[in-house]
Structure 1
Amino acid sequence: MRVLIDWREKDRVASIIKSFHPIEMRQLKLGDVVLISNEEACLIERKTPSDFLQSIKTNRLWDQLLRMMKSEQMFGFPTKRKLLVVDGTFSGYEWNDAKLWRSLMGAFQEIIWVYQIPMIFAENDSALEAFFKILIDREEKQKNESVPKARWYRKPLSKELLPVRDRKQYIVSSIPFIGEKLASNLLERFETIRAIANASQNELEEVDGIGKKRADLIYQILH
């Protein structure tokens, strides 16, 4: 992973990134940071809130974003990703100002929908460091190319005391890939959690909706 930083960012971005990763200072024609990994480039533009607002007024922002949008190569590598990072907060501005809100919300949506450039907000040094650390790691390991997949999660237990039957179902449903419906099927067949734990793989497989893979998983978890 190569991290190229525009020389004008030497006092802020460079000092943060070089604390955990080697950097190269360059004069970049576009953007403030370029990551090169796996023969592809990631282009990042950083703006402070004041610079962001000022560049909207002068239309400089739209020129920069248009050039980023049209960028096909950086240093001979195809540009696969472009990002805009707002470094800091808008807390010093008057948030009751409807005109300011309209400018910001209009700009945010224009950037995301029209220019198709994702925005990241880093409120302080820690946030900016975390952003670059995670981005560098994800780009290097190609995690940002992953195909989305379903993730198992467990619903929180109600504050009200559940009936015994529902408590059993809640516990059984916490087994990965089981859920409430299959937990109910298991309890209808075996009645108790102990009986489920003592069941053989063949017995588990016979339960409606369980099948061989889930039966093997349940058996492995409970033994």
Structure 2
Amino acid sequence: MNITIITDNRERASGIPELLVEKGINVIMKQLAVGDYMIDGDIVIERKTSTDFVQSILSGHLFDQCARLRKTGRHSLIIVEGNPFNTRHDIKPAAIKGALLSVSLSWQIPVIRSSGIEDTVQLMIMAAAQQLNLPVFIRKMGKKPKKHQKQQHYLIQTLPGVGPMLAQRLLAHFTNIEQIVLADIATLTKVDGIGKRKAKRVFEFFRIEVK
């Protein structure tokens, strides 16, 4: 897999560059003017811990960063590690939700949550693979028409607690929506990123009686 990811020098201590190298990724360390990572010269990624993300909301720095990301003219992405709704900062959930919506809708920069640095590495490699049209991460999905793939992907994202990356993992694991609908809680938890609580919510979603 010939993928090169330029990494800002300040990210060295995060442990992510080492994990990328272990995955066979070419890592170039240098000082980036904007963002923490750059993929194929076209994707700029800003990585934040949940605490960093909340702090940037409170300080207003988040939207300054969004402005700089947009000015690059490249595809931009913000990855938030951890749960921003569960930090020590005194901030209302509505403020966090408002910031997430503003970044995604007003600034048109996707915000993706990850469980930690290993999940972040996986997300970056998946983004690089899609950018370079590498099939390695979608091989389990078969050869369905692209239109149907997108429709299924968007449909799965309507499930409670399911975002773009988790939707892709679900489809990669089960191969079609019918299998997801029929899966029990124990089977759903076999998908990376789905714990018992989220699996229960998805399971119950398909079994709610409509009156």
Decide: shared fold, TM above 0.5.
yes
Determine the structure 2 residue equivalent to 1:5: 7
AA matched with 1:108: L
Q: Secondary structure at the match of 1:23?
A: strand
Determine the structure 2 residue equivalent to 1:26: 30
Q: Secondary structure at the match of 2:113?
A: strand
- CA distance in structure 2 between the partners assigned to 1:154 and 1:125 by the alignment: 29
- CA distance in structure 2 between the partners assigned to 1:137 and 1:131 by the alignment: 10
Structure 1 residue 51, shift from structure 2 partner: 0.8
- CA distance in structure 2 between the partners assigned to 1:100 and 1:19 by the alignment: 39
Q: Which runs of 4+ in 1 moved over 6 A?
A: none
Determine the structure 1 residue equivalent to 2:83: 89
Matched-pair identity in %: 24
Question: Is the 8 Å Cα contact of residues 7 and 32 (structure 2) preserved in structure 1?
Answer: yes
Gaps of 5+ in 1: 73-78, 159-223
- Greater Rg over alpha carbons, structure: 1
Q: 1:113 aligns with which of 100, 105, 110?
A: 105
Q: Cα distance 1:25–1:43, how it changes in 2: closer, same or farther (>3 A)?
A: same
AA matched with 2:21: K
TM-score (normalised: structure 2): 0.60
Question: Is the 8 Å Cα contact of residues 83 and 118 (structure 1) preserved in structure 2?
Answer: yes
**Count of matched residue positions in the alignment of Structure 1 and Structure 2:** 143
Superposition pairs of residues 124-203 of structure 1, within 5 angstroms: 124-141=116-133, 148-151=146-149, 153=176, 155=178
Determine the structure 1 residue equivalent to 2:165: none
Question: Is the 8 Å Cα contact of residues 34 and 43 (structure 1) preserved in structure 2?
Answer: yes
Question: Is the 8 Å Cα contact of residues 17 and 132 (structure 1) preserved in structure 2?
Answer: no
Structure 1 residue 130, shift from structure 2 partner: 1.7
Structure 1 residue 88, shift from structure 2 partner: 2.0
- CA distance in structure 2 between the partners assigned to 1:113 and 1:148 by the alignment: 25
Determine the structure 1 residue equivalent to 2:39: 35
Gaps of 5+ in 2: 136-144, 153-175, 183-211
- CA distance in structure 2 between the partners assigned to 1:127 and 1:100 by the alignment: 27
- CA distance in structure 2 between the partners assigned to 1:85 and 1:137 by the alignment: 17
Deviations 1:46-82 (A, max 9, x none): 011111111111111110101111212xxxxxx2x11
- CA distance in structure 2 between the partners assigned to 1:30 and 1:49 by the alignment: 20
Residue 20 of structure 2 is aligned to residue 17 of structure 1 = yes
Q: CA RMSD in A?
A: 2.7
Q: Cα distance 1:88–1:16, how it changes in 2: closer, same or farther (>3 A)?
A: farther
- CA distance in structure 1 between the partners assigned to 2:114 and 2:5 by the alignment: 19
Structure 1 residue 11, shift from structure 2 partner: 1.8
TM-score (normalised: structure 1): 0.57
Q: Cα distance 1:119–1:6, how it changes in 2: closer, same or farther (>3 A)?
A: same
Question: Is the 8 Å Cα contact of residues 19 and 118 (structure 2) preserved in structure 1?
Answer: no
- CA distance in structure 2 between the partners assigned to 1:93 and 1:86 by the alignment: 13
Determine the structure 2 residue equivalent to 1:169: none
Determine the structure 1 residue equivalent to 2:161: none
- CA distance in structure 1 between the partners assigned to 2:30 and 2:59 by the alignment: 26
